[in-house]
Each structure stands twice: as C-alpha cells, then as structure tokens.
Amino acid sequence: MRWKRWRAVAAELQSLLGRHIGFRFSLSVLLFSLFVALLAASFSVWNGYRKAVSEIDRQFAEIERSFASSLALSVWNLDGVNLGAQLRGILNLPGISDAAVVDPLGRDILRIGAFDGKGLTVRRTPLRHDAWGQVHEVGELRVAASTEDIRRTLVSEAVSGLLGETLRIVLIAAFVLLAYQRLIGRHLRRISVALKTTEDDGLPREFFLERTVLFSRDELGEIEAAFRAMRDRINVSQQELRQSEQRANAIIDNLGDGLLQVRGDGRIERVNRAAERMFGCTADALQQQHVSALFLDAPGSVSQAAVAAGADPRLAGVEVKCRRAGGTLFPADLVMARMTVGRQESQVWLVRDLSERRASEEQRDFVAMVSHEFRTPLAIISTSIQLLMASLTDPGPKVVQRGDNIRHATQRLIHLLDDYLSIDRLDSAHQGLDLQPGDLLEVIESAINDWPLDRIRLRLHGAPAQLLCDPELMRIVLRNLLANADRHSPADATIELDVNGRADGGVSICIRDHGEGIPADELPRLFQRYFRGRFAQGKPGAGLGLYLVQKIVRAHGGTIEVQSAVGSGTTFTLNLPRAGTTTD
Amino acid sequence: MSNVILLEDETALREGVTEFLEAQGHCVRAVASVAEFAQAFMPASHEVAIVDLGLPDGDGLDVVRRMRRDGLRLGIIILTARAGTQARAEGLASGADYFLPKTIDLTQLSSAVTSLAGGSVR
C-alpha cells in the first residue's frame, strides 16, 4: 500500500520535473551541492581521524621516552608502588585507556584496564635495564589508546555540519527556483502562449516581456527581437502570398472562358465568374453539383475526354453541349488539363461558349443567302425596267425619271447587301482582305460608272498605275464616298475626285463636294455604325456607309480624314500606303 | 450582228436579255439548263456565250471551264448573282472574258457582247 503511494508520488514528481525546467534546474543544483557537501564532510572526517591517529603515535613515543627507563628500573627493583604510580600517570594522559607491564614470559606484573575496548591501538615497548655492564630484558610495557571516541566525535561533527549545509543548499535551491521563475520561466511561458495563439490574420500573437530596459538586450531580449522580426517576415510574405493569390484569382475570374476545377470523383471544386455567367448559377450552386450535370452528353464525349485528359495532361478542345440552369443548352468548346497541387490531383476544365460565334456565323450565312436570293428578283426588276424604257419610242421626261428611280432603287438595295456582306467579311477571322495588285484606274472607273460623266471630275497627279488592295472593297469605299457626295450636293455641282501619288509610294484619294457640309458636332461620330447626321434625315441610307469605308481603309493600313464646313462642302481624304509596283 | 447563246434559268431574265440583244441586232439562242445548253451549243457558229452560274442541273463555271478545255475561242460572259471578289476571281480564272454581277446593266452587257463579237475574241 505504502509502496504504491510512493510510486504515485515518484510519477508525480517525474511529470513535474518533465514539465518544468525550473524544478529540474533547482533539483540539479540541490543534488550537486549535496554531493559536494557530502564529499567535503567525508574528507573532513578522514582528515580528523588521520590527525588523531598521528597524535596517538606521538603520545606513544612520548610515553616511551618519558616512562620506559623508569618503569624498567621499578621492575628491576621490584618497586610495585612506584610502578603503579607510573602506570596511573600514563593513564592520565589524554586518549590512553589501558596500560600494563608484563614479564618476559607474557605474565602480567601490573595491569590497569582490560584491553578489550572497541577500536583499541596497542603499543608494546620492551623494558630494558642496564646493570653490571649488561642489558637485561626485564619485561614489556603495553599501552592502549582508543580511537572510538575520536571517531564518534568526528562523525557527529560531520553529521551536524552536513545537516547545516543541507539546509543551506535547500534554501539556495529554493532561491534558484524562485530566481529562475522570475528571470526566465514566466517570460518563456508568455512566449510559448504567444506562439500558440494565432490571430485573425494568421500571425502568431505579438508579445511584450515585462522587463526593465536595462536587461532588455539579453538572450530573452534577442528572442523577443527575433520573434518580432520573424513575425514581420511572415506578415510580409503572407501579404505577398495574398497578393499573388489575388492576382491569380483576378486572372481566373477575368477569363472569358468558364473555368471548372474538377476533383477525381467528378465533383466541382471551384469555378470562376465566367462559368457562373455561362451556366447561369452561383459558384455555391455549381460547387454542389457533379460535373456531368452540366454537360448534355456526359457519358459520351465528356467522359471520353476526361479519360483522354487522364492519359494526356492537355487535351485539345472537344465540342460539347452544355446545360444552363433552367435547362437551355448552349454549344461550347471544352479543353481539359490535369493539375496536381501537393498530392491532390484534379482537372481544370475550360469551357468556351460558342453560342455567340454560332449566332454570328448563322447571321453571316443568312446575309449571304439573302444577298444571293435578292439579287435575281432585283435583276429582273432592273432588266425589265431597262427593257421597258428602251421599248418606249418617245417617253416624256417624267417617265424617264421614274424609270431611273426604279433602277436606282434596285441598285441601292444591291449596294446595301454588298455593304453588309463586306462588314461580315471584315469581321470574320477566316476571311479578310483579298489583296492583289489591281489596276487603280480600273477600280476608280468602275466606281464612277454609276454617275453621269459630267457629275464627277477626275484628276490624276502622279498616281501609281497599280494599287495593292482588295479591288471589290476599294470599289465599295469609293462608291460610298461618291454616293454621299452626290446625295448631299446640288444636282448641278461637280464632285471632284483627285488621285495623287505620294512620296512614300502610296496614294492619296480626295473626294470633294460643294454641298451642304456636315455640322462640326457631328464630325467625331461620323464613322460610327448606324450614325446618321441631321442632313441625312429623309434621305436613303442605313448609317453603314462611312462606318464600312473607315473599316476597309483601316484594314488596308490607310487613314481617312474629313474636312467640312456647313454650306461650303465636305472633303474626304483617303491615304493608302500600299501601292503595287508601277508597270512600265 | 453576231451569234449569241444565253444560258439563264430565270425565265424573266432570259426573255428580257434575249429581247434586248435581239433588239440590238444579235441572233440569240436562249436555254434554261446545262443539259439544254449541251444540245443547243454549236461551237462553230456561236461567237459569244452568256452564262449564269447557279443553275438547276449544274454550275455555270463548269460549263465555262469545259468550253475552254475544249480549246474554244468564243467570247464568254458570266452573269451571276454571286457577289464578291472571290467569285469574280474564280469566274475570270475559269476562262470567262467578262464577269457581270446581277443586277444587269443592259448597256454594259451590250458593250461587252459587241466587243467580244467584234473581233477581240481570244
């Protein structure tokens, strides 16, 4: 029972020592000091004993010197009284416990003491007497001294000294413990609490040791400073990390393509804003879904694509049908990539919504179809009116005017279709300019053919014979500009068309009318799509002409400028850099 | 003045153009399909062929190419609703002399026929 209790106490002590350096520290001091004290006490006992023994030896020698000859004389004379007095004198000496004189045969002559005490040291000295010229062996003196008393005294002295020393040591150890707690322990506890506490921003809590400034540069002070520096470094790198994460997130969120991060089991882990828009629901809603819910034919092409992505880290786009929230479908291009972060593997699915592209392709196809289908009936109308006019022998001026009106109306519809087709062609990534070295004059002439000869005055100054351009589009540019000039100037005014060669080998084409001009506030918006000026109200046009002109000119690497004043006319100047080589 | 064969599937246009060219003094044979054209075309006598491209039983471009492959030197005018630089380039590359997009400017057509019939035949 008692043994068990001791073991419990030992375990408690062990855990206390294990948990507190202060206790270990002070226990070490205690044990070491005790050991030293014990060593010192042992030495002092040993040394005292050695001194006592040599004192006894000296005593014995003194006794020999003082008493040997007189004792021998007393034995020779058989003087018992004197012998007894002498032995008692010896016994009175300090430390001597027994004394005896024996005859040469070993029999006692006189004995005081039993010679049987503990720790006795016996010295035997032969007694010799010199008589008649001869030395006679008359007996032997035996003296015993006891070291027991000395030992007892020494030990009791040592024990009492040791007890005092132990008390001192215990006090010192207690003080050591106290000093440790005060100087080191409480600060260490504060540091460890600070290190264990994490603040909202993820940093360990800052701490301040309560110490005077004088001591603030010791080891603990260094730890404090180092901790603060470390906290600052962590703070800085955390901010950097956060910034770089924000940057990465910004990139991901601003991607035009929808991004899905998909786990191995097909659960969606993360989505970007484009994906939210595309699938029409919030990130939270998306993240609860299985990826196959977003794709129409998930068991087919998508799972195959996923398998392929597993085999190949990057997978080229597959076209899939995606399901928007609410069930509508949209076509999309899907690219998958495998991604490993740490030990976690996931896939990144990039979804590009193709519906807009599809819609614009359909629109383009529709415009092309309409253009083609409109042309034949318009051609019939135009041809018929031409034949009708030709068959009249003497049509009046009004009839001629009406015939021209019908022809011009069909012509305008055709041109409108041409313009739409050209815009689509310029917008399309697949088609673009069809550059070829063309005869500049032919392009210009085909454009001015629509008007009577005296309406346009053409002047050429050092113009290159050939121009590297898309002839069809360049014809549209000139036709549109000339049509504008025609529409906005009096019927009897001449439109000037100047074509000049430029120093850099390009060509500058200038179309000037003397019509109503353009108000200054409209000039900045002149080339915008569907813009129509005040003077254009009530006149035909869709607001596409100048928009298309600028688009074509820019596609050719050229510029277009306009100068205009209300009442005095408008000048458009085209600068085209790319000219073909001049033939001959 | 000259012998013209016209391949155009649209009746109103076919009749209108025929009437116009005959009024100009040309002798016109008008057909509405590639098959009819193959029957009516006489390489020795026709000087000018006016060909529409989109036809019910074939593409006019093939007709033009076949005539050129056969080494015929008559004048060829393409008359089409196909617009754009590429269509024009294709048409001229097939061997046609003129590429006239619809709507038809009859004056332009007349001058083209006259120039082809009047000795500037290839």
Instruction: Please tell me which residue, B96 or A471, carries the higher pLDDT value.
Output: B96
Helices (DSSP H) in A272-391: which residue ranges? 273-279, 283-287, 303-311, 355-391
Residue B106 DSSP one-character state: H
Cβ atoms A489, A451 nearer than 8 A: no
Instruction: Please tell me which residue, A318 or B70, carries the higher pLDDT value.
Output: B70
| β strands within A21-155, DSSP E | 96-102, 108-112, 120-131, 134-146
**Partners of residue B106 in chain A, C-beta under 8 Å:** 383, 386-387, 390
- Specify the pLDDT at position A205: 80
The C-alpha of A423 sits at a distance from chain B's nearest C-alpha, in angstroms, of: 12
Determine the angle formed by the axes of helices B106-117 and B11-23, rounding to 10 degrees. 60
Beta bridge partners of A512: A496, A571
A418 and B83 in contact by Cβ < 8 A? Answer: yes
Cβ atoms B46, B3 nearer than 8 A: yes
B85 and A470 in contact by Cβ < 8 A? Answer: yes
Residue A503: CB atoms within 10 A of its CB come to: 6
Is B102 in the A-facing interface, judged by CB distances under 8 Å? yes
- Specify the pLDDT at position A583: 35
Binning chain A into helix, strand and coil, the percentages to the nearest 5 are: 55, 20, 25
C-alpha dist (Å) from residue A423 to A156, A291, A355, A480, B43: 122, 40, 20, 13, 43
Q: How far apart are CA A202 and CA A222, in angstroms?
A: 23
Q: Which residues of A65-94 are buried (b: 16+ CB within 10 A; e: fewer)?
A: eebeeebbbbbbeeeeeebeebbeebeebe
Using pLDDT thresholds of 50, 70 and 90, give the confidence band for residue B122.
Answer: very low
B16 and A380 in contact by Cβ < 8 A? Answer: yes
Cβ atoms B26, B47 nearer than 8 A: no
Could you tell me which chain A residue has the CA closest to the CA of B87? A472
**Partners of residue B83 in chain A, C-beta under 8 Å:** 371-372, 375, 417-418, 421
Cβ atoms A322, A352 nearer than 8 A: no
B106 and A384 in contact by Cβ < 8 A? Answer: no
Which residue of A410, A417, A472 is in closest CB contact with B85?
Answer: A472
- Specify the pLDDT at position A6: 92
Cβ atoms A37, A27 nearer than 8 A: no
Beta bridge partners of A133: none
- Specify the pLDDT at position A301: 47
Per-residue pLDDT tens listing for chain A (584 residues): 678 899 999 998 888 888 888 888 889 989 999 999 999 999 988 998 899 889 888 989 999 998 988 999 998 888 889 999 999 999 888 888 889 999 888 888 888 887 887 778 888 999 998 888 888 888 999 999 888 878 888 889 889 988 999 999 999 999 999 998 888 888 888 888 888 888 777 777 888 888 887 877 888 888 888 888 988 998 899 899 999 999 988 898 888 888 888 887 778 888 888 888 888 888 888 887 887 788 876 544 455 555 555 545 455 567 788 888 888 888 888 887 777 777 777 888 888 888 888 887 887 777 777 777 788 888 888 888 888 888 888 888 888 888 888 888 888 888 877 777 777 777 765 556 777 777 888 888 888 877 888 888 988 888 777 888 887 788 889 988 998 898 888 888 899 999 988 888 788 999 999 988 888 888 888 888 878 877 777 666 677 788 888 888 888 888 999 999 888 899 999 998 865 443 33
B20 and A378 in contact by Cβ < 8 A? Answer: no
Q: How many CB pairs under 8 A join A and B?
A: 71
Q: How far apart are CA A573 and CA A508, in angstroms?
A: 7
Residue B62: CB atoms within 10 A of its CB come to: 14
Q: Which of residues 12-51 of B touch A (CB under 8 A)?
A: 12-13, 16-17, 19-20, 23
**Partners of residue B81 in chain A, C-beta under 8 Å:** 372-373, 375-376, 379
Which conformational region is residue A541 in: left (phi greater than 0), alpha (psi within -120 to 50 degrees), or beta?
left
Beta bridge partners of B55: B58
Is B66 in the A-facing interface, judged by CB distances under 8 Å? no
- In chain B, what percentage of residues exceed pLDDT 70? 93
Q: How far apart are CA A164 and CA A159, in angstroms?
A: 9
| Tokens of residue A185, six digits | 């322990």
Q: How far apart are CA A148 and CA A155, in angstroms?
A: 10
Cβ atoms A144, A122 nearer than 8 A: yes
- Map A476-503 to HEC letters: HHHHHHHHHHHHCCCCCCCEEEEEEECC
Which residue of B82, B88, B103 is in closest CB contact with A379?
Answer: B103
pTM: 0.47
Q: Give the CA angle between residues A155, A157, A161 to the nearest 5°.
A: 115
B81 and A372 in contact by Cβ < 8 A? Answer: yes
Q: How far apart are CA A423 and CA B32, in angstroms?
A: 34
Q: Give the CA angle between residues A570, A576, A578 to the nearest 5°.
A: 170
Which residue of B19, B82, B106 is in closest CB contact with A372?
Answer: B82
